[in-house]
Each structure stands twice: as C-alpha cells, then as structure tokens.
Chains A and B, each alone.
Chain A
Amino acid sequence: MAELSKNDEALVDSPDRTGVQPPAAEAKPAGTAGAPVDRGEPILRVRNLVKHFPMTQGILFKKKIGAVKAVDGVSFDLHQGETLGIVGESGCGKSTVAKLLMSLETATSGEVFYKGQDITRLSGRALKAVRRNIQMVFQDPYTSLNPRMTVGDIIGEPFDIHPEVAPKGDRSRRVQELLDVVGLNPEYINRYPHQFSGGQRQRIGIARGLALNPEIIVCDEPVSALDVSVQAQVINLMGKLQDEFDLSYVFIAHDLSIVRHISDRVGVMYLGRMAEIGTDTQIYDHPTHPYTQALLSAVPVPDPESREVRERIILSGDVPSPANPPSGCSFRTRCWKAEDKCATEVPLLAVPERFAGRDTPAAHESACHFAEEKDVVHAA
C-alpha cells in the first residue's frame, strides 16, 4: 500500500509553510518499541495550553461574568509512533484538549507545536496543511457519521478538502483500500451508516481519520460506546494500524485498563490541569499524586478475589465546577492530605523533590506538594 505512506514531502513542498522545519521529520526511529525518551524532537509539543470559555449574561449587551476554565495550563509532548493516554473524569477538560489539538477551538493562550510550528497561531492555508496531518476519531459512532451520506462519501470527503491526496478518478479505489485496511468489506462502499453495527461504524470513523495519511490521530473515547467484545476488536485494529503506518495517538478515555493496554505514556487530568504524567508503569504501579491513587483504587477490578483485600480510596463529593475552581491545588477539596499550603500555592507539574535524581519509577512528573508513592491495587 504505497499510497498510505507519510506526506512529509507534500508538506515541505507546500508554499505557505514558513521555514521553521525542524529535523524531526527525518529523525524517524526504526521501530515502534523502545523508550520514548530517546526519540529526539517530539512530533507534537504542547505548552501551557489554556482554554477559558466565557460565561456571559444578558441578551443584547453581553456582559462577561466569568469563565469556565476548561483547560488551565496543560503541557505534554508526543513522539512519533507513540501513544499518549489521557485519563480523567468527565469535565476535566480532556475533550477540550482534543479539540484544541485539532484547532477546532481557539486556545485562549499557550502553544501547540507541530514539528516546531505553533499551530494555534495558524490560519487559512497554513492551518489546512497542518490539519491534514492531525486527524480525529470521535467517541460516538452513531452521531459522528452523517446518516444521509454513503460510506464511500463519508470516507472520501477528506479528499474533497485536500484534493492533492487523491486525484478524482482514483478516489473510490482509495476508499475501498481504506475499507479493507480497517477490516470492512470493500463492497460496502455504497451502504449507509445505519446498515452497520456500532463497532463497524467506529471502523468507518477510523478509515475516515486515516484517509489523508495523517501522522497524528487524536482519539476521543473511541471505544467507550462499544460493547466489551467489540471493544477488543477495535483496540486491536488501532494497534495494528499504528505499527503499519507509524502513527502517533493521543488516546483520550476514561477506561483505565484500556488506556494502560494501549498507551506508552499516560497523563492524568483533573479540573483542566495535568495532575501526573509518566510512563504507564510509573503511573499505574507507582502513582505519587493522591488523585491518581484514588482513581486507580476506585476502578472495579474484574477479579472477585480482590474484593476483600483491595484498599479503596473513596473520594467524598464531586468534582468542583471548573467555573470556580478551588484556590491553590484544585484537588485539595477532595484530598485527604490537604494542608494549608495546598490552598495557597498551586503545585507545579514537576518531578517531586524527594524523588528527584533518584533512579526510581516514582521519579516522574506529579503536581502535588506532598507527592508520595502509595501502592494501590491497580487496574490490571
């Protein structure tokens, strides 16, 4: 499948790109395995990303009365061929991060560097060129496909916007190839979405995401609407495609065991901020942030034997409103370790001092004043 190679050349050739091309595109690592630390320049660098949605009052003369701080300073890197999992409860801002990465929302402040270029400042043709390389797979396979379009039209629509990827006469062949890649019968090209099951529709959504040979796919809860037996099929497909096309995934989900299975690194979000980020082993086996510990301990483990022995941390109350987050550490209202310091000082996302420089899996970035390792029975 020669057509589905990377479009680096096309990008370099595109006339509207400024000359800030880093050598990252060439520094492609050989395999997909291995430590992500040694990968050189990340393909995506997110720095202090902020998105505040204004709250207004009045109809004619809209008055700004506050802001919902959906994303409040999020930073992370994504390397080529890597999967970064982002977990968190509803309302923690993980879907807003996805939209910001896709430039579907304009960031209030902060930068998203794709190969050294800040995409939050781009518009017009430059943005269009970048978007070709960052695609998205949506959560709900029922509402994200237009019921009046055939599968061929849905998967082929990206080619209308980026005609340089596939010449007109070639499109239906390309669509059939894509259907084949995601494990659907290429003869289904003229069917409508309602003729498919949920899992098959999610495959159509994935095929649409793959159409432009992107380098990064942002997956916003891609399997949470699917049944258990079908989830595994879709997860396997995504893993296979990653190996085949050297894709980088940002995998947003609330199912911790699936995130662990697919991710190389995991970030835990709470109220618009990153609470803790590290490799999957660091986060799942050596969490240092109390929220991560509570989250992991609350996940029901599919093993009745652990029922009695498992220590569970049950948080009290609900997530505070992002319109009016607590001062200092946003988790302090539900935290059992909270002290006065937590109410005044915002903890920074950094390797905790006590672990700094030590060769321990607990030495990863955690935004807590009192970060300490706690062995919770983790989501296996």
Chain B
Amino acid sequence: MTIIETTADVPAPRGDRQHEGPLLEVRDLHVEFHTRDGVTKAVNGVNYSVSAGETLAVLGESGSGKSVTAQAVMGILDMPPGRIPKGEILFRGQDMLRMSAEERRALRGRKIAMIFQDALSSLNPVLSVGYQLGEMFRVHEGLSKKEAKAKAIELMDKVKIPAAAARVGDYPHQFSGGMRQRIMIAMALALEPDLIIADEPTTALDVTVQAQVMDLLAELQAEYNMGLILITHDLGVVADVADRIAVMYAGRIVETAPVHELYQRPAHPYTRGLLDSIPRLDQKGEELYAIKGLPPNLTRIPTGCAFNPRCPKAGDVCRTDVPALHQVTEQDGTELPGRGSACHFWKETIHG
C-alpha cells in the first residue's frame, strides 16, 4: 500500500514540541477481532495523518472500521477479542503501540482526547458532572478536590454552559442532549490536548443544536490549534468543517482528498455513489441513485477490491487484485497533492 502523505521517516526527538511533520500518523494499521464465527478483519491497512490545527474527517458507513481505528489510536480497544497484528501509530514520531501501558496512560487525556457519540451513556449517571470534569485534574495533575471543582466550573464556562457555577453539582440526566455533549467536549479539552478524536459528536443531536456544537468545536480547535479527527457518516457535516477527508470502506481507506476536491471530483466509485445518493433538488420525485447491495460482512471480505460486488465499474482485475491507494493525477499527469484513490479504474472515475 502506497503511503500518500510524504511526511514519513523523520525519527523525531522524543516528546519534542518542535517535532516536525504531522501530530499523529497511522501507518498500515490492522485490527482484527477473534470471535466464534471466525476472524473479523475490522481494519485492514489504514494510513492517515493529522497535523496541528487541521481537521481530518474520516467518513464511512457503519462497519467500515472508522471507530475501531480511532479506538486503536486512543488505546481503548478491547483486547482480547481485539488484536493489532500489524501497524504503527506514531504520535509526534513515537510509536504508541510499543509504549508501556503507563506511558500510554500519560498521553491519553493529556495529549490525545476523545469525544464520544452518546453523551448520556458515556457520562457516569451517579456522579455529578463537576466531579467527572474534575477527575481529569485530580488524576493527571494531582489537584485537590476544591481546586478541581474550580477548574471544572472554568471549563463549563468555556463550553458556554449557562450558570456553570450553579450547575457544577448537577447530574448528567439534568442536562439536555446538547449540554451533555458540551460537557463531553469540556472533558476532552480539560488538559488542552494536542489532538482530539471526535467520534460522531453530533449524530445524536438535533440540527439546530448540532450547528451550535460544531461551531463551538471549531472555535475551540482554532483557539488551541488542536488537530481534530472527526469521525462521521454525515456528508453535510464533513463539507462544513473538514480540511481533508479519508473515506473508509470495509476497513480500508478508499479515497483521500482535500474537502473541496472530493465533492467536486470523486476519484473512487464508492465516494461517487455516496455523493450521488444525496437527494438533490433537480431530481425531486425521481429515483435516487442507490449503491446496490450491502456493505460486506467483515469476516468474509470479498477478494480483490472489497467494493467490487457493488461497483458499477468493476472488471476482472477488481475481483482478483486488491487496489493500492494510487496517487491521483490530472489528465496530463500532474499530481494532485493529497489525493489518493484505491481503485483500479480511478482514471476513468475522475476524468471519464
């Protein structure tokens, strides 16, 4: 598999702020789950990277491996049944998969934090939100309970929760969905991490609240110059906030591109299919374009390109050879920076 991002091979000084290149780099990551029904290959060679201040959107349907990749990066994968047979996860040049549990623990929360989808089930219902927010400071920085509470109020102010000082002792069920998601964001921000992974942060929210939360996230990202990995299936949210997009299918990245170019000229039939299946004004009342078939079962991924049974362009080569992530070029051969497509027929897809 070709690595598109040409940022690699800098054996960076340990934990150095001046580390050049991306904040996080995932290289050829594989994750599998050993179940009774066989081995589920959830992630099959994922490469991506994020720099400070940048937003990478990982787009994919359920079962595409986007959340599992994020969990592997955070080190919160259930192992067993999960296993990482291959791959590297470099944070500022250090491979996190080779660190001891203690070293990873020090990074988690302080350097890399995560925002989960379902705030109600991610917060502990029997502890006040102030206590849960303060936990970050008590555990990582050894603050006293009183100091931690003051910090918690500060954080709640930061994410614009009204009357923070009065509500710090409230429990999660006393907050609305949007407010709970703000608390999740506050918790992730507590120690001002360098990188935030947001796993479907607004999927459970209504559109008007989703707009508020995405705005807040973008504002805070700019303020702290954080890297953000946004995991989502919503093509609308991605178009609004992402800098770069990685589209995943059956545990692989099938296309990477800067946001504008992906929507203008997709170079992979799956991406094209996704974009075409959005209802458009001029097709009102007509049949929507639908990608036929279903996403594959991850215990039995089709040979060759995993998308071949559903692909309108599939040829014989697609059923036998796994396509590498090809560098996408203009018709005259000039390279399009940051663009890659894992399709044997990418030329036809983008230019024809």
One of B31-39, B44-52, B228-236, B320-328 contacting the partner = B228-236
Q: Which of A90, A227, A236, A305 contacts B295 (CB 8 A)?
A: A227
A299 to B207, CA, bound (A): 6
Contact status of A318 and B233, CB under 8 A, knowing A236-B288, A257-B279, A300-B240: no
Q: Which of A228, A301, A318 contacts B274 (CB 8 A)?
A: A228
Find out whether the CB atom of B207 lies under 8 angstroms from the CB atom of A256: yes
Find out whether the CB atom of B277 lies under 8 angstroms from the CB atom of A231: yes
The contact size tier of chain A is 35 or more
Quick one: closest B residue to A233, CB to CB? B290
Quick one: closest A residue to B284, CB to CB? A261
Find out whether the CB atom of B263 lies under 8 angstroms from the CB atom of A298: no
A232 to B206, CA, bound (A): 21
Q: Does A167 contact B (CB under 8 A)?
A: no
- B332 to chain A minimum Cβ distance, whole angstroms, is 25
Find out whether the CB atom of B207 lies under 8 angstroms from the CB atom of A298: yes
One of A21-29, A186-194, A307-315, A338-346 contacting the partner = A307-315
Find out whether the CB atom of A236 lies under 8 angstroms from the CB atom of B290: yes
A299 to B208, CA, bound (A): 8
- B62 to chain A minimum Cβ distance, whole angstroms, is 6
A residues in contact with B178, CB < 8 Å: 318
A229 to B277, CA, bound (A): 7
Q: Does A271 contact B (CB under 8 A)?
A: no
- B233 to chain A minimum Cβ distance, whole angstroms, is 6
- B339 to chain A minimum Cβ distance, whole angstroms, is 15
B residues in contact with A200, CB < 8 Å: 294
Find out whether the CB atom of B207 lies under 8 angstroms from the CB atom of A229: no
Q: Which of A199, A295, A299, A304 contacts B263 (CB 8 A)?
A: A304
Find out whether the CB atom of A229 lies under 8 angstroms from the CB atom of B236: no
Find out whether the CB atom of B206 lies under 8 angstroms from the CB atom of A300: no
Find out whether the CB atom of B289 lies under 8 angstroms from the CB atom of A232: yes
Q: Which of B61, B260, B263, B280 contacts A228 (CB 8 A)?
A: B61
Please encode chain B, from 258 to 294, with 1 for each CB lying within 8 Å of some chain A CB and 0 for all others.
Answer: 0110010000000001110111110111011111101
Q: Does A126 contact B (CB under 8 A)?
A: no
Find out whether the CB atom of B259 lies under 8 angstroms from the CB atom of A257: no
A236 to B274, CA, bound (A): 15
Q: Which of B234, B280, B295 contacts A380 (CB 8 A)?
A: B280
Q: Does A89 contact B (CB under 8 A)?
A: yes
A315 to B215, CA, bound (A): 12
Find out whether the CB atom of A89 lies under 8 angstroms from the CB atom of B208: yes
- B265 to chain A minimum Cβ distance, whole angstroms, is 12
B residues in contact with A10, CB < 8 Å: none
B residues in contact with A314, CB < 8 Å: 208, 211-212, 215
Q: Does B210 contact A (CB under 8 A)?
A: yes
Find out whether the CB atom of A302 lies under 8 angstroms from the CB atom of B288: no
Contact status of A228 and B277, CB under 8 A, knowing A298-B208, A298-B210, A300-B234: yes
Q: Does A235 contact B (CB under 8 A)?
A: yes
Q: Does B176 contact A (CB under 8 A)?
A: yes
Q: Does B239 contact A (CB under 8 A)?
A: yes
Find out whether the CB atom of B206 lies under 8 angstroms from the CB atom of A302: no
Find out whether the CB atom of A232 lies under 8 angstroms from the CB atom of B208: no
Find out whether the CB atom of A295 lies under 8 angstroms from the CB atom of B280: no
- B248 to chain A minimum Cβ distance, whole angstroms, is 13
Q: Does A153 contact B (CB under 8 A)?
A: no
- A296 to chain B minimum Cβ distance, whole angstroms, is 9
Find out whether the CB atom of A300 lies under 8 angstroms from the CB atom of B239: yes
A residues in contact with B179, CB < 8 Å: 318
Q: Which of A89, A230, A305 contacts B206 (CB 8 A)?
A: A89
Please encode chain A, from 237 to 269, with 1 for each CB lying within 8 Å of some chain B CB and 0 for all others.
Answer: 001000000000000001011101100000000
Q: Does A294 contact B (CB under 8 A)?
A: yes
Q: Does B209 contact A (CB under 8 A)?
A: yes
A199 to B293, CA, bound (A): 10
Q: Does B237 contact A (CB under 8 A)?
A: yes
Q: Which of A199, A232, A236, A298 contacts B211 (CB 8 A)?
A: A298
Please encode chain B, from 220 to 260, with 1 for each CB lying within 8 Å of some chain A CB and 0 for all others.
Answer: 00000000000001111111101000000000000000011
Find out whether the CB atom of B290 lies under 8 angstroms from the CB atom of A258: no
**Most B-side CB within 10 Å, residue of A231, A257, A304, A306:** A304
Q: Does A164 contact B (CB under 8 A)?
A: no
Find out whether the CB atom of A229 lies under 8 angstroms from the CB atom of B273: yes
**Most B-side CB within 10 Å, residue of A197, A199, A228:** A228
Q: Which of B176, B242, B259, B294 contacts A199 (CB 8 A)?
A: B294
Find out whether the CB atom of B263 lies under 8 angstroms from the CB atom of A303: yes
B residues in contact with A233, CB < 8 Å: 290, 292
A295 to B289, CA, bound (A): 26
Find out whether the CB atom of A302 lies under 8 angstroms from the CB atom of B208: no
B residues in contact with A231, CB < 8 Å: 277
Quick one: closest A residue to B245, CB to CB? A304
With A280-B284, A294-B208, A300-B239 known, 5 other A-B pairs at CB within 8 A are A228-B278, A229-B295, A254-B206, A295-B207, A299-B236
Residues in chain B within 8 A of chain A (CB atoms): 61-62, 176-179, 206-212, 214-215, 233-240, 242, 259-260, 263, 273-275, 277-281, 283-285, 287-292, 294-295
